[in-house]
Amino acid sequence: MNEKEKQQSPLETEHNEMVKTPKDLRLPAALVRTALSSEQTLMSWIRTSLSLFTFGFSITQFFYYLEQQKEGVQISTGPRRLGIALVCVGIVVLSMAMVEHVLRLRKIKKQGLPADAASFLPVGSAVALLVIGIAAFVSIIMNWSL
């Protein structure tokens, strides 16, 4: 026993042991918070890309409907191009957000993230919406009317 331990009373020693426990949990807790923050960021990107899909698809369908109603009147292709661009941006943004989220989780897992801390729900919903966005893009390109 060194002199420092001899000078501490049993109460001080017990207090120091109690203080050490939260320090040991700081890293896992920080990693879980970072993983949850990453999921929240992914969900925000999902919301943004869904808005882009919806707005772009609505624009193209609206002007397609106008062309069908007024036969012989040619409407500018600008709104259609804008709608296609918005859907494409939504697809790219969602894809990039998913890749970034997965890479961040892998990096955090290497640092010691508990296995049950990461949820599949955000990535699963992002994949489902990516499929919907691609279907919207294909329907616009093929001039499918809904």
The per-residue pLDDT for range 15-66, each reduced to its tens digit, is 555 555 555 667 778 888 888 888 999 999 999 999 999 999 999 988 888 8
Taking the whole predicted model, whether its pTM rises above 0.85 is answered as no
The answer to whether 115 touches 32, Cβ cutoff 8 Å, is no
Pure H helices in the chain? 3-7, 10-69, 78-110, 121-141
Nearest C-alpha neighbor of 97 from the set 64, 122, 62, 60: 122
The answer to whether residues 110 and 25 touch, using CB atoms and an 8 Å cutoff, is no
On whether residue 10 sits in a domain, the answer given is no
Domain that holds residue 145: 47-146
- The domain tally of the chain equals 1
Q: What is the pLDDT of residue 132?
A: 93
Higher-confidence residue: 20 or 71? 71
* Domain assignment of residue 22, yes or no: no
Domain assignment present for residue 65? The answer is yes
